Amino acid sequence: GEDVEQSLFLSVREGDSSVINCTYTDSSSTYLYWYKQEPGAGLQLLTYIFSNMDMKQDQRLTVLLNKKDKHLSLRIADTQTGDSAIYFCAERKGGATNKLIFGTGTLLAVQP
Amino acid sequence: DSGVTQTPKHLITATGQRVTLRCSPRSGDLSVYWYQQSLDQGLQFLIQYYNGEERAKGNILERFSAQQFPDLHSELNLSSLELGDSALYFCASSVSGIDTGELFFGEGSRLTVL
């Protein structure tokens, strides 16, 4: 099927690291993405990783990709209350389309 | 601000009715995508248009249709509405199919069917 799976909820304390996990389905996916959705807003791209990479770091964000297990993770260092949002992973299907299949979303709650 | 504009932001209507949601993509973006977000189904891909032509189709009901016009704006038509169609409908745009694939999302149109 096309299900991209994520855990539903994660709660962390301000200043701690957050790790959000995702399992995707298509081993031929070329790009994998992390999007953030704040309350009442649309989705905003946080970062992406090309499928031939294992890791990508962008300031407080670290993306790890395990192609063998089709597992993607997003680590947020020094998590802030402003990071509270829903985080979606997405895979780009192969072929001549940018169609993205999104995960179920993980609600990150950051406690002060 | 993503540059993608969706109207209306909120819409309340009755079962059996028909509504049209409108999307203006970012300047220069040729592709438009429609997604439906609901509590039970998550974020579901509906349909994609590229430069006026349908490019990919997802879980779009037969009661729903879409099109992309020559000026590249797109409309999503929802007819014979049912209670279960209540959801947030997102439009997204991207340049083409050969780049990194980043989608830019609008703020969504929240449809409530009573």
Contact (CB<8Å) B90/A42:
yes
CA distance, residue A73 to nearest chain B CA (Å): 18
Averaged pLDDT for residues B78-100: 87
* pLDDT tens digit sequence for A26-52: 878 888 999 999 988 889 999 999 988
Averaged pLDDT for residues B38-51: 89
Q: Write out the E strands in chain B.
A: 5-7, 10-13, 19-24, 31-38, 42-50, 53-57, 64-68, 74-78, 87-94, 104-105, 109-113
| Successive 10-residue mean pLDDT values, chain A, 112 residues | 83 97 86 92 91 94 95 97 96 74 94 92
> Is the pLDDT confidence value at B83 over 80?
yes
* Residue B43: closest C-alpha in chain A: A102
Averaged pLDDT for residues B10-17: 97
Contact (CB<8Å) B101/A103:
no
The Cα-based distances of B50 to A60, A69, B21, B29 in angstroms read 35, 33, 18, 9
Residue A95: partners with Cβ closer than 8 Å, 6 or more residues away: none
pLDDT of residue A2: 62
Write the residue in A33, A42, A48 that is nearest to B2 by C-beta: A42
Contact (CB<8Å) A45/B94:
no
- A107 within 8 A of B42, measured Cβ to Cβ: no
Contact (CB<8Å) B97/A102:
no
pLDDT of residue B41: 79
